């Protein structure tokens, strides 16, 4: 209904950014309940699949469409005590790679943006729980380029990917993590 309402009012969707995200509780596999796994994977992977499926028919009718998956630099290391999140983000990325191959013949580009620690509520909760840091700005000195990644930094990568300057880019993952952690914060 949501996509139909949008298309009725504005026409077919030309850009979809799959950005819904939640964290897992940071437990080992042995201590993770199946409900948590379902909840996290559903939010990241199943929702991205469902929304993409809904907008693709309209995108195919246009000269160009773009689907962006907001993943995570966590897929670089796939650390311990994060199986639901790691599984969800790698499933989302696999969906992106598959879609990029299926839909390029229809002019649809599908790419991944994988940020590191970003100054958001989710980032604050993560650092409070894992490092006892309540103010992310306290991490600036230990971060690449002397600051915690900002939402605008991620948005700038998305803007590039949906612009004409990236008209020949599909099936790519772009990390937005300043090249990786220097110290505190992953």
Dihedral (CA of 134, 138, 139, 142) sign: negative
185 pLDDT exceeds 60?
A: no
Domain boundaries, the chain: 2-174
pLDDT tens readout for residues 9-30 = 999 999 999 998 888 888 889 9
List the beta bridge partners of residue 103: none
Structure tokens at 20: 């819904």
Known catalytic residue at 160: no
- Chain centre distance of CA 57: 22
pLDDT tens readout for residues 72-97 = 998 888 888 889 999 999 999 999 99
Which residues, at least 6 apart from 32, have a Cβ–Cβ distance to it below 8 Å?
A: 24, 25, 83, 84
Which one of the listed residues 85, 97, 168, 175 is annotated catalytic? 85
Which residues, at least 6 apart from 128, have a Cβ–Cβ distance to it below 8 Å?
A: 134
Query: For the domain 2-174, what is the CATH code?
Result: 3.40.50.720
């Amino acid at each position: 209904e949501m996509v139909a309402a949008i298309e009725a009012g504005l026409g077919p969707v030309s850009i979809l950014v799959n950005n819904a995200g939640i964290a897992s509780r940071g437990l080992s596999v042995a201590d993770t309940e199946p409900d948590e796994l379902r909840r996290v994977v559903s939010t990241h992977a199943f929702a991205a699949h469902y929304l993409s499926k809904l907008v693709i028919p309209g995108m195919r009718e246009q000269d160009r469409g773009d689907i962006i998956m907001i993943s995570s630099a966590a897929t670089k290391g796939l650390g311990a005590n994060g199986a639901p999140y790691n599984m969800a983000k790698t499933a989302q990325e696999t969906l992106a790679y598959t879609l990029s191959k299926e839909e390029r013949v229809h002019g649809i580009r599908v790419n991944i943006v994988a940020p590191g620690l970003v100054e958001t509520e989710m980032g604050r909760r993560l650092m409070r729980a894992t490092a006892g840091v309540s103010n992310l700005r306290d991490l600036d000195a230990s971060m690449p380029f002397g600051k915690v990644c900002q939402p605008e930094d991620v948005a700038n990568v998305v803007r590039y990917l949906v612009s004409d300057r990236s008209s020949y880019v599909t099936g790519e993952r772009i990390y937005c993590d300043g090249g990786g952690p220097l110290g505190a914060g992953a």
